[in-house]
Each structure stands twice: as structure tokens, then as C-alpha cells.
Structure 1
């Protein structure tokens, strides 16, 4: 009997044939008997004979992608999701894997039939604030000192978290507290000194996705910081409320960033962890 090789090479080789990909697709929900598998492949024009189907199944079993299970007197073929995971998403770091899973969940939510009417709502927030300092100083505070201006209640972890805003596109934007970590998204754009953006769920759950972008522009008085937040929410019962909440939240965080740069006041998790006094003007 051939030994099973749950290796990426074996998995990718096994998936190189459309009939075997069809088998994997058929097994995604439940184990299926060989006869039923062959009937499906035959209908789809993927396998000309039962012998060919058996041969494709054998290749998948040798790659450890398909396991044989017993249900009463019936022998069923079951997908070994672990082998598939290790050959694909298993290569990703944990934060990236969670993002991939969230994107897949959002896709399945959007495509799945439901008794509830499906709808996708969007919101767009744009805010600007003037800070009396050169762009280099504002950029340093934004990227290098996030814990000094980002704080409660805009946290995913319960405690004085630290934030990581890496300068590499695709890198995770992470909130950390001891051994715990929470993912805010992944860096989508970086122009050192002027642009920083990331995409992710932004604390809104699996049914939401968006991008936040900071843009810094030199002015005669210092630096103008523009923040945009574009998001899409699936089945949002209170989209206006969500937008209003995030609108206020970004205004609060902008005020904290301004206070840090101009006065040295630390209102983030590495400081008072409370909002400063500021005038809130809702964005249009």
C-alpha cells in the first residue's frame, strides 16, 4: 500500500487534475460514497468511467486529502481538511490566516441563500485636522508612538494594549496585551512621511470590511492630517449608527494625536487612556 504523504508537493500534484478538484469540492460539506461521487463527476464530464474515478480517489488518498470513513455498512470518502489547510493557509502567519478566514467568511455570508433579505451597506468618513508641527514629527507620533494616542474605548483587548503599525505593505496591524494579540487589519499603502493605510475588519466583526487611510500634508501652520475610512457592512441593521460611532471615534483619536504632538499629553493606553476635550464636528 502506498504511504500517505501529507506534503505541499503531494497536495498540489493531487489537485492538478480538474476531476480531483471536483472530488474535493464535492466533499466540502459531507462524506460521499464512491458511487455518488462518480455519478457527479460523470454528469460534469470530469470522469469517463468508474475505474477513472477510483484512480483519482486513490491519488487523493495517497496525498492524505481524502480519508475513508465507515457509516454503518457504507464506506464513505471524507475530505481531510487538515492536509489542505497545511498546504495552503497553513503557510501564513496566524494573523494573516485569521484575515484570510475572515475574508472567506464574508464571501460565504454574501453568497449564501438566506430567508433574510441580503443587503450590503457602506459608509464613507473623511476628517481633517491641523497640527502645529512639521510632518516628520506628526509621522513619528503616528507610527512610532501609537500607544500614546490610541486607547479606550477603541480596543479589541481588555487592558493597556500596545499597537504595532509596521511600514511594510501586507504586514499585520496588531494590538497586543501580554501573550494575547488582536488583528486590526493589514497594511495596504505606505509612503513614508505622508501616507499610511490598512485594510481589515476594524473591530466590526466578520460581516464588515474597510480601509483606513492617513494622509499628511505640509502647511504654513504645520501639518494637515486627513483620515478617510471606507467600510462595507453586510446586513447592517443600523448602518447610520455604525457610521456615527466611527465618525466620533476617529475625531477622538485625531484629537489625541494632536494633543500628543502639540503638548505631549498622552491620552492612549500608555497614558490616561481617556479622550481629551475637543469639539466634535460630524463629517458630511
Structure 2
């Protein structure tokens, strides 16, 4: 947490975060266009933000795209704000209302979290039907082979799937890529989005990066921006403590 406060204490770094909030997924060159500073200096500031986990980087070909990562801000909110008052501060509201961003052909939402676990356990938590039922409120059902169908099935015994898709890539335990869509849109690939889970060992913990792209509209972006932080917080709690959060995070007021 010290790294987060140190990063936020600098005006230039706050301006860089503002630029990413206005338009997420920018290259170094794009960020430098609106900052009166050399590329080397901007690179150094970005390194501080990345070390604090406030910025995450996704490679797209030869480009490095920078994304605002709300995880540390959520942790600050839970530790110091939610205990005393529920109204959101403007910066946290801005992070949560990323649905206001203009849609682009770049990955729309990137979320990074660190989990004290192993890559194999994180993979199983994402793909095992019984484990997903514990922390996600649905069962993720598939054989997880490339080309196979997968379903996000309700727990009420109805067998109804609220999300369906196909497995694009499956490399246990490091990378899983799936398409996502409503059952009624099957056969209309233009209505399906794409989710990538990248699982990387990071010293004695795991860095989990979720990239959700090809969203159809602002409504889907709003759902994604609020949904993934809640689901992944519950996953993190399950793997680190053996139990999900005491209340489903998506039912907490403000989510």
C-alpha cells in the first residue's frame, strides 16, 4: 500500500491516471502527446505506477498498451472508506463508471489482481464447475478443450445458462481464452465478446490478468466494469482463506 500512496502523491502520475481514465489502453507515445515531458521521464513515472499496480500493461503486437487498474483503489476503499461512509469519492466513482469511455478496437477492460496461490489452483478455480459455484454463483461447465462449448449455468437446478461461448485457447495453467455471449445470440459471432485469463507466477504469488474485449455497447461495458472486480475479489478470498466473502460482493450496495 505504501507504493500506491507514493505513486498517487505525484501530480504527473495522477495526470497520467487521468489520461488513462479518459481513454484506456494508450501507448507510451499517446500518453506523451499530452504531457509536457520527455519520453524517458514519462516511462519512469509509468514504471512507478506499474510497480504500485495502478497501471497494467498488455502487449498487442509490438505495442505496449497501458490500462488503469482499479484494484488498489478498491482496496483503499474497503480499508478506509467503506468503514466510515458509503458515498463514493469522485475518483472511485470515476473508476467504476468506465462505461463512459469511448468504445475502441482495443481491449475494453483489463483487471489485474495478485493471489497468494499457485497457477494450477487459480486455473481450477476458473474452470472447475464445483469451485465456480462456490464463489461465482454459477457453474462454469466445459471440457475446456479448444473449440469446445462452455456454459455459465445457474445453481437453481434449472440447467439454464446465462452465458455461453466457445473455448478459443486453453493452456493449463497459464492461459485461457473464451468467447462470451447470451444464449439467444448463438450463431451471431459479432454479438460475442472475448475474455482472456492470463495466469503468471509472481514470486510466491500469482498475477491474474483478465482482459475483456469486443464488447457490444456501453451497457455491456458497465456490467463488466462492475462485475469482474466483485467476482475476482470473491475468487481471491476463496483461494487465500478457504472461504468466499461473507456476502456476495455483487450484492453489496454500490456494485
TM-score, normalisation: structure 1: 0.44
> Which structure carries more relative contact order (alpha carbon 8 Å, separation 6+)?
1
TM-score, normalisation: structure 2: 0.48
Q: Structure 1 or 2: larger helix share?
A: 2
Structure ID, larger Rg:
1
